[in-house]
Amino acid sequence: MARLDEKIALVTGAGRGIGRAMAVRLAQEGAYVVVADIDRRLAEETAAQVTGLGRKSLAVSVDVSRRADIAQMIQRSVEGMGRIDILMNNAGVLRIQEVLDIIEADWDFVCNVNLKGAFFVMQAVARQMIQQGSGGKIINTASISGKQPEPHFLHYGVSKAGVISMTKSAAVAFGPYHININAICPGTTETDMSMMAMHARAERNQVPVEEEIQRRVATLPTGRRNQPEDIAAMAVFLASPDADNITGQAYNVDGGAVMIA
């Protein structure tokens, strides 16, 4: 039997990158997956990959910065799958900006998705899990940017630091209901979002983007960037019975980047 056989998982931001890798890995481990993304077409593509692995899937369009969308996502998930056992709270956005260039609209855009949205998705799923009475696992996607300085996307780093803090507090609040809540802090990962940051760094340093990537990789103890599947592997571990007594933690998956930053 697979580790997550017939568990019902909800993954936000599952249309591409880390979220898609999470959805696929969950299916490989036996879970049925609700694939939620602001882009319905991308959500349906990921859902098709899940069903191709022989697992039930449901594609849902959601803007996590809108509480009405969150409520509808939860309702559709429960109506379609019966319950929610696992949340991969992964939806996120990034803007590359100098600190003095950030305006209120930029701050609100980043923090409304990455922090406010993450909180209200977590809250809504925790409420559903409490009603079900059988506990659950919530994994929040944070970032090593929440643990170290990020002068070129300060608002992103602030939002991810907030995700780490809310993970710890929520783990205490929901522990009595047998809901484990942890965070993953990816380092540089081969995704569209990460490439935005790489292009920005290359432009600042006036070098080709491939040179900037190689420069970054050369500093990593493991000698390579993350693949989305590296994050998915940690997420599935935290969702599995192997992590039943782990909660309130924020794990770096970064090739050792934080140690040498």
More confident residue, 205 or 174: 174
Look up residue 189 and give its DSSP letter.
Answer: B
> Chain centroid to CA 247: how far?
16
How does pLDDT run across 138-186, given as a tens digit for each residue?
Answer: 999 999 999 998 888 999 999 999 999 999 999 999 999 999 999 999 9
User: Band of the pLDDT at 118, cuts 50, 70, 90?
Assistant: very high
Backbone angles phi, psi at 97, to 5 degrees: -150, 150
User: Band of the pLDDT at 20, cuts 50, 70, 90?
Assistant: very high
* C-alpha–C-alpha distance, residues 5 and 125, integer Å: 20
> Which residues belong to the active site?
156
Record the pTM: 0.95
Domains of the chain and CATH, by start:
8-189+227-255 (3.40.50.720)
66 SS3 class: coil
